[in-house]
Structure 1
Amino acid sequence: MIQFKPSLLTLALMAAGASTQTYAAEPLSQTDQNAEEAIEVIEVTGIRRSLKESQSLKMSSSSIVEAISAEDIGKLPDVSIAESLARLPGVAAQRLDGRANVISIRGLGPDFTTATLNGREQASVNDNRGVEFDQYPSELLNRVVVYKTPDASVMAQAIGGTVDMQTISPLIHGEQTIAVSLRGEWNDLGALNSDSTDKGYRGSISYVDQFADDTFGIALGYARMQSPNQEERWQAWGYPELDYNPDNPKVLGGAKPFVRSSELERDGVLAVFEYQPNETFHSVLDIYYTKFNDEQRLRGIEIPGQWGAGWGNAGITAIENSDGLVTNGTINDAAVIVRNDINIRDADSLSIGWNNQFMLNENWSVTADVSMSRANRTDIGMESYSGTGRGNGNGVTDTLGFAYNGEGSYNFAHNLDYSNPDLIKLGGPFSWGNPIGPDSQDGFINKPEIEDELKSLRLSAEYIFDDGFISSIEFGVNRTDRDKSKRDNGFYLTLKQYPDMVRVPDQYLLSPTSLEFFGMGDMLSYDSLAFYNDGNYIETNADTVDLSRATNSWDVSEEVTTLFVMANLETELFGLPVVGNLGLQSVHTDQSSEGTVATVDSGEVVKTPNSAGDTYTEWLPSMNLSFEVAEDQVLRVAAARTLTRARMDKMNANVNFSYNASPTDGVNWTGGAGNPYLKPWLARQYDISYENYFSDQGYFALAVFYKDLENFVYDQHSNFNFGEIFPDQPGNPIGNVTQPQNGEGGYVQGIEASLSIDFGMFANALEGFGTILSGSYTDSEVKETPDSEPTTLPGLSEKTFNATVYYETRGFEARISSRYRSDFLGEVTKISLQRENVNIKAETVVDAQIGYDFSESGIDALYGLSVQLQVNNLTNEPFTSYFGDDKREVRDFQNYGRNYMLGLNYKF
């Protein structure tokens, strides 16, 4: 047996979130032979306890894993799950609205990552399968484990990896505990909109107890967050050639800069009920619920540039250009649109799981696990327009100077007062839409709705052998049913006074919003949502006139049956102790989708219901072996065939098309479609990891991996039989559509290294100091066809690096952490709240915290109390995306500022 494998006691303490302890027995007195053995308890707390427990989890796992453990009840090391995950080797997070939101594992984006709660796959409020981790309050989780290599018992495996969030076990915790925390929060950009706040708070309370002679335990938790977020955002339309001449330099095509103020409210509730009356029966019921509301106010001025010549301005005069980009110029006779927009997201998630284990005898045990995960989301994305006149070429214009500032955005000079309500009036300044008449689009409101429900039943058994190289065999079946739907509701808004422009009524006016960050001074601000809610607009359903909108709602269903068998090994090979497993999964999937076939006829969208689906079976073998090559040193070898299901928003049965009765090429039908026949991504992956555990709070690990992607999903031209839907239509029934298809694959490969050191092992003077370092290098080559250019994989950063330096002793705690990821292709929100992939610039995010635990002060009245100051985004790192290869062609430049948090924690 491997020497470094933790004892059952250590594992129990880890599971409970209790302190790992070292026991030292003193010699018995010669005069008291019956005295009990005295025990000295050395308690490790805070950051070092978290690191020690995480290391123990990594050591004891049969797979290659990374782990994060809570420093105390209700206290993970960071303010969010995603930020903690982003500090692990080979893991990177993408920020959304200033906070870490989704993650990539080993260069594979959120599409290739599965999230579970206590081992059960989670529904998602996302349009796809990817879990948005800011939905889960970190205060209610005990640990998070990232499985980089799967085994056959993991039902929710994925090509990138599986993130398992775990709650506390009240029986293993073993004592009554009440923990309370409260933190105030402040953003240093201030309240950028007058109807917003730059202050918020976070609070939580947890209660753990045991009853009936420690056979019944409960854990209850509640967490609430009201977090402010402010943003100064530069956003460009693009960069065409000046005068549309390839010999001319590129110039700003248009811009939509704005300030955003948001207030995120999140409530989370956890309940765990655990019952173990004897050694043969163990039952756990856990319930996890979160409610999430994010209200954002966005105000700015949209400025047509080169693309607006002829309708938004009289053209651009270029003054200076540098290396093919106009860096200084003037927009002549410029018309702009003043935007008062609002985004609101209401979402909630509920997860319920009930696990029952029965020990039939010393060799046989059976497990039954039933669970349900449900997520719902409703968005409001409202655009409200105002300007100096209705439609193109009307109203007062301005002369706008612009200059590139060298930091990713432009500064403007202007002449008009854009905060004057007598000049800037409600109505559409540009001819962007004609829902009820010419130039009648005065705004737009998106109201998409997402529903996702996932139900699962797992039955399994394990037989433990008395001897032999196979220690046990596990086998069973897992059935999962998932139903996800999207209703993409959208409406054009037209003022009831159309075609007149309307002065904003005084009851809706707010203090002007400053756009000085890019030189446009103050702008007119008003409560656009209140104006809408009071019935001042005529609404026109977009799916009656917009073909793409009519085919953006869908239902997707999956029924997945997984049979698995796994042999756990404990033996010797080549004279070395080895543990591990060999396993096989058979995964049968029945997938279907309900959608719409839509076309435009006489200016109206005509819709026809459509449904389709497919079935498939895949076989997934896996192997994980761990060799003890020396004391406290292990070499892990793993191989597996893994599966990640296709994006659900790509699996829809929607088709939009146009019909040409007299085509020149013989093709009557052309259009775009989803693909309910999409097969999953598949990969064969190989891993080798060397780990050296030189102390109980120190290790070095080096891992290499190779993922052979058997296929990938691309948008391709394919044939579609329209004759099955329109049998009476003359002409060739086979049409050409663009839709996602399974194509050629490729590879992803990389190397990871991590080092954790407690400097106290070198000298007593360094006691309490330590560092955690990790880095990775990843590259890939994925091609649509053998002769095509390689595809950029979403989420892949070639380089990542994480560093944390900490000090903790005698109650004092200080830590500074940074995480770096190089350029990558990320997914962001575009117009109409749709998603798209864009190039995102490399970034380094730095966080810091300092605190003191009064339990070490010797003041009895303050025992259990601790204080902490945290700063997120200490160096005010912006989030930047760009077009093409020239990083000066910035798409988005987002300045979030710093968030400060000062809080108290109390445990008794």
Structure 2
Amino acid sequence: MALRTRIRGSLGVSAIALTVSAFALPAAALAQDAAAPAADDTAAEGQEIVVTGFRAALQSATANKKRTETVVESVNAEDIGKLPDNSIGESIARLPGLAAQRSNGRANIISIRGFGPDFSTTTLNGREQTTTNDSRAVEFDQFPSEILSGVDVYKTSQADHTAGGLVGSINMRTIRPLDAGKRVIAIGARGTVVDQKVIPTVTNKGYRVFATYVDQFADDTMGIALSAAYSDEPYQTHDWNAWGYGGYGPSGSNQYGISGVKTWEEASRLKRLGLNGTFQAKLSDQLTFTVDGFYSRFNEKLDQKGFEMPILCCGSTVTGFTPGTIANYNIGGSSVPIGLVTAATWTGRPIIENYATDNKNDTYSFAGNLKWDNDNGTRALFDVSWSRTDRYQDRLETIAGLGRNLPTTDDAGNPLPVSSYGGTFGYTLTSNNALLFSSDFNGVSPALVLTDVQGWSGPTNQAGYDKIRKSRDDLKELRAEIEQDIGGFIKSIKVGVDHVYRKKNLTQDEATLTPPTGVNGAVIPANLLLAPVNLSRGFGPILSWDPRTLVPNNVLLYVPNNFGNSQAYRISEDVWTPYAMASLDADLGNGNSLTGNIGVQAVHTTVNSFGAVNGTLTDKYWMVLPSLNLNFRSPDDLVVRFAASEQIMRARLPDMNNTVNFNRNVLLNIYQGGGGNPKLRPYKATALDLSVEKYFGNKGYIALQMYYKHLNRYIDPSGVDLAYDYSGYPVPSGIQPPTPIGTFSGPVNTKGGWIMGAELAGTLPFDVFTSALSGFGITGGLGYTETKAFNSAGGTSAIPGYSKWVGNLTAFYENSGFNVRGSMRYRSGFLGDFALFSGGLDRQAVLSETVYDAQIGYDFPKDSALGGLSVFLQGQNLTNERQATLAEINGAGVQDAWLKYQTYGRRYLAGFTYKF
């Protein structure tokens, strides 16, 4: 009984009629699948089953997973284009074993198997890419989802994948027009609204538009694919921070409360243009030429309006507090008995803050290759690519108060009226562990002036600071390989070489912003004031102004300093990777087979790291990385995979810089600093994987994946504090310590540790059980990981980005054009990376979080008047899930109480796609 199965897309670039073949299903394999029905298919002779949309995406991803020789998870264009996500990151985060860290509410950093981006790599069409941040980790919000056709996440290694990755690698793919096989024109648009507006002058509404054109000509020997996407998206954040926690009351009383407070309202507007183009030409029956081009323009303006003040130092006085019960305070799962102060009052000098950060990133990627196949078992590839990211970040900080370092007591030590220098404040810890504040300070008083409120800058009178960080990340890659079919158990042998030359430069321009000469405080002109901003958590309204306007209007003076020059660095890597791989294929009889590959890479690396003060340091080394993938395949759709390999992940680029960042520790009155280590060697692990996968044709699967990695070499990012002489460096602004001898910490290699875990993953359309449930299904996974990593002191430490539990689930229904689905993604607590003003990273313990999304849509029938039109409505972050981090209270090494608490609001989106 014959059955034809046809898979087609329905939306977006996404709308490509058969983009499945562009990234997951080679033409021959697709023909084979179409000719071989699943065992439970019972359609009548000649009947055509049409599978579209999300179900088509899942079927093609299942087929790809089943066919490949490694453990892989896939997303295809039907899924990505049909979900109107802000970036590809939102869609990748729904895959089994993957999770996202949010920035301003959007998923821009991806973790694989519970580990952060420092342990994985990302490529575009198999080519390494430059990044918009200081490290190697690709931020996925620079890639509009509409310009991509699919993503593969490889969890095991094979020799011809040269980009590295300790827990996996992510490959994003664009459309191949000759594989699409037909002309496609698609356009789409959507509107966005966030249900909270935190700054009156920054909108909470946005939009997004895109268009795609794919065509073939010259008797289908040439093809072109063009895609463009533009978005103007709002992000709105309530942000509260504690400085940390200190002792209240007599020493030894074990009563702890917040030592200082900061609360912000943050709003940003992200404008992004993404362009992608591919040209293909079949120069002969044996030779194909492909050229790819990608461009992304990323422009974000972030405004922060806030309130900050110390509680346990710096002119503040605690006037009363309510002790907590000595018990287990358990936000972070602590078992250390403490008493957390449940209420307190204090007086002091508050700081009104208006900050602005402008980020502009331009990413370029161009590549081309020649593929030769003589149809007699010989294949060759020559590929050349170039990627560049130019990054510009300007951060302005300005502060205001009633005056500069105003006294809180008279000359005799008697208290002065609180209204003369600040106000009286309080906080209460509620029954659900939330902090609410009270204040009698007038944050919109016309008496407020721009000045160094606390006097921390000494004679400088720093009312603001400006730091401009400019970087260029440039990467060139060249690959050549040849493969020859052998026949028998060794199906083919491939040899090749990959060469990557990467150079990253960073420069910093820094300046102090001060009131005009002889003036302790600069008055903010009325014409520069904006509508007041009402702070959450009880602090009330505060003055608002745009810091970008103050220097141009001569309100503050711009005083450049040389401190930023010492932070400039230049790093280059020259990596040669010759490799050889044999593909394996054996018929074991009775329909059983053994497939896979065995291979080796020999990696030679040269690192040059230049710093303005320390000059250039060079390091060279070789590494040999063998890999093995074996797949036992049975006729009843059971696949058992075993993989073993040596894996590496290179250190973060800033960790290898040859510069030193330092400043004065106010409490200890010494210099404290850190910097890079140009002699760092990569993370290195011996990895073992075992995966048992049961498939239901190409409709779905269920899999249990287990893995163990012995960390032969690890990188402790903080190292050990050592004595260091800072006398050769430019002096930071403000009060100076009595001696240039301070402390220094930096990343160092350690002896390693281990990682082990298991994942349960699957896609189950319910029609594999009964046709009555056709259209219903679920997809997702649950992962558990245990780990231990040794630090430079010989103990163990948390691995950045590591979550013990990662899970996601999507339930869906698609039938007769109607589609609805709900998704959740969960990750347990982890050590997250947050960018500092200095350009470094602040690693904080992030609490577990669960994010819920939902979508409903309709695809009009092809033969109707509105055929080709699809409409949708989506809600993101439906429970307004917070992102919260924890602080260590009493030095016991346990994170116990709130440190940072952010909420991003719910996002609602409505849009359409029309395919001609």
Give the TM-score normalised by structure 1.
0.88
Partner amino acid for 1:367? Answer: L
Task: Answer yes or no: is the 8 Å Cα contact 1:451–1:486 preserved in 2.
Answer: yes
For residue 678 of structure 2, what is the aligned residue in structure 1?
676
User: Take 1:656 and 1:319, find their aligned partners in 2: how far apart are those partners?
Assistant: 40
Deviation, 1:553, is: 2.1
Are residues 1:577 and 2:580 paired?
Answer: no
**Cα shift readout 1:800-838 (whole Å, capped 9, x = no counterpart):** 111111111001010100001001001012343432211
Q: Distance in 1 between matches of 2:320 and 2:448?
A: 26
Aligned counterpart, 2:330:
none
Give the drift of 1:678: 1.1
Distance 1:250 1:13, change over 3 A: closer
How far does residue 329 in structure 1 lie from its aligned partner after superposition?
3.5
CA distance in 1, matches of 2:427, 2:578: 63
SS of equivalent to 1:183: strand
Q: CA deviation at 1:392?
A: 4.4
Question: Which residue of structure 2 aligns with residue 615 of structure 1?
Answer: 620
Query: What displacement does 1:307 show?
Result: 3.2
1:456 corresponds to 2:477: yes
Shift of 1:24: 8.6
When residues 898 and 736 of structure 1 are mapped into structure 2, their CA distance, relative to the original with a 3 A threshold, is: closer
Give the structure 2 partner of residue 798 of structure 1. 804
CA contact (8 A) 1:496 1:537 kept: yes
**1:552/1:331 Cα in 2 relative to 1: closer, same or farther (>3 Å)?**
farther
Partner Cα distance (1:339, 1:670) in 2:
25
Task: Tell me what 1:377 maps to.
Answer: 391
Taking a change above 3 Å as real, the CA distance of residues 523 and 653 of structure 1, as seen in their structure-2 partners, is same
Q: Identify which of 80, 100, 104 aligns with 2:111.
A: 104
Q: Using the TM superposition, give the Cα deviation of residue 152 of structure 1 relative to its aligned residue in structure 2, in angstroms.
A: 0.6
Three-state SS of the structure 1 residue aligned to 2:243 is strand
Query: Matches of 1:678 and 1:16 in 2, distance apart?
Result: 36
Instruction: Tell me the equivalent position of 1:779.
Output: 786
The aligned residue for residue 911 of structure 2 is: 903
Task: Name the residue aligned to 1:396.
Answer: 421
1:551 Cα deviation from its structure 2 partner: 4.0
C-alpha distance after superposition, 1:441-470 (max 9, x if no partner)? 1011121112100001111111112x3211
CA RMSD of aligned residues (A): 2.8
Q: Using the alignment, how far apart are the partners of 2:90 and 2:463 within structure 1?
A: 40
1:531: how far off? 1.9
1:789 aligns with 2:795: yes
**Aligned-partner Cα distance in 2 for 1:701–1:835:** 37
Tell me if 1:471 matches 2:497.
Answer: no
Is the CA contact (8 Å cut-off) linking 2:70 and 2:154 kept in structure 1?
yes
> Which residue in the other structure is 2:176 paired with?
169
CA shift in 2, pair 1:101/1:670, >3 Å: closer
Query: What is the rounded CA distance, in whole Å, between the counterparts of 1:721 and 1:256 in structure 2?
Result: 32
Corresponding residue of 1:29 = none
Counterpart in the other structure of 1:866 = 870
* Correspondence 1:689 to 2:696: no
Give the alignment of 1:38-53 within 5 angstroms: 41-53=48-60
1:432 partnered with 2:456: yes
1:58 correspondence with 2:65: yes
Which of 530, 551, 556 aligns to 2:549? It is 530
How many residues align structurally? 843
**Does 1:117 find its partner at 2:141?**
no
SS of corresponding position for 1:306:
coil
Secondary structure at the counterpart of residue 56 of structure 1: helix
CA–CA separation in structure 2 for the residues paired with 1:752 and 1:234: 35
Aligned-pair CA distance for 1:497:
5.2
Write out per-residue CA displacement over residues 331-388 of structure 1, whole angstroms, 9 at most, x where no aligned residue.
4332100011111111111111101112346132221100001111111111111111
Residue in 2 aligned with 1:362? 376
Cα drift, residue 789 of structure 1: 2.8
Matches within 5 A, 1:436-835: 437=459, 440-465=461-486, 467-496=487-516, 498-515=518-535, 517-544=536-563, 551-572=566-587, 576-597=592-613, 609-655=614-660, 672-714=674-716, 715-716=718-719, 738-784=745-791, 788-835=794-841
- Alignment of 1:181 with 2:188, yes or no, is yes
Residue identity matched to 1:902: A
Q: Return 821-830 or 386-395, whichever deviates more.
A: 386-395
CA–CA distance in structure 2, aligned partners of residues 822 and 471 of structure 1: 43
Question: Matched residues in 2 for 1:550 and 1:624: separation?
Answer: 49
Contact 1:817/1:847, CA 8 A, preserved across alignment? yes
Report the counterpart of residue 850 of structure 2 in structure 1: 844
Asked whether the equivalents of residues 98 and 110 of structure 2 are also in contact (C-alpha less than 8 Å), the reply is yes
Distance 1:129 1:845, change over 3 A: same
Q: Give the alignment of 1:886-901 within 5 angstroms.
A: 889-901=897-909
Tell me the residue number matched to 2:736: none
SS, match of residue 321 in structure 1 = coil
- Measured in 2, the distance between the counterparts of 1:292 and 1:455 equals 22
Which stretch of structure 1 is more off in the superposition, 344-353 or 69-78? Answer: 69-78
AA matched with 1:366: A
Moved more, 47-56 or 501-510: 501-510
Residue 414 of structure 2 corresponds to none
Cα distance in 1 for partners of 2:252, 2:745 equals 29
| Alpha-carbon distance in 2 for matches of 1:326, 1:333 | 20
| Contact 2:23-2:173 at 8 Å conserved across structures | no
The DSSP-based 3-state class of the residue aligned with 2:21 is helix
CA distance in 2, matches of 1:498, 1:233: 36
SS at match of 2:696: strand
- Other structure's SS at 2:165 match: coil
Q: 1:664: which partner in 2?
A: none
Q: Which amino acid aligns with 2:604?
A: H
Q: Distance between the aligned counterparts of 2:774 and 2:794, measured in 1?
A: 57
What is the distance in 2 between the residues matched to 1:147 and 1:485? 30
Deviations 1:592-628 (A, max 9, x none): 110033xxxxxxxxxxx41101100000100111101
Structure 2 residue identity aligned to 1:335: R
Check whether the contact 1:24–1:40 (CA below 8 A) recurs between aligned residues.
Answer: no
Query: Paired residue for 1:412?
Result: 437
The percentage of aligned residue pairs carrying the same residue is: 36
Tell me how far 1:398 sits from its aligned partner.
1.0
SS in 1 for 2:258: coil
Name the counterpart of 2:158: 151
* Structure 2 gap segments, 5+ residues each: 1-5, 8-16, 37-44, 327-337, 409-419, 664-670, 730-740
**Cα 1:673–1:875, aligned 2, differ >3 Å: closer, same or farther?**
closer
Q: Which amino acid aligns with 1:811?
A: G
* TM-score normalised by structure 2 residue count: 0.88
Aligned-partner SS, 2:257? coil
Change (3 A) 1:543 1:890: farther
2:20 touches 2:76 (CA, 8 Å); kept in 1?
no
In the alignment, is the contact (CA less than 8 A) between 1:183 and 1:203 conserved in 2?
A: yes
Corresponding position of 2:41: none
Partner of residue 220, structure 1: 226
CA contact (8 A) 1:69 1:76 kept: no
1:99-125 CA distance string (max 9 Å, x none) = 111111123211111000000011111
Is the deviation greater in 74-83 or in 151-160?
Answer: 74-83
Q: Does the 8 A contact of 2:86 with 2:141 survive in 1?
A: no
1:862 is displaced (CA, Å) by 0.3
User: Alignment partner of 2:843: what SS?
Assistant: strand
1:32 is aligned to none
Report whether the alignment pairs 1:267 with 2:270. no
| Amino acid in the other structure paired with 1:530 | T
SS of the residue corresponding to residue 240 of structure 1 reads strand
User: Alpha carbons of 1:876 and 1:722: their partners in 2 closer, same or farther (altered >3 Å)?
Assistant: closer
| Alignment CA distance shift 1:696-1:283 (3 Å) | same
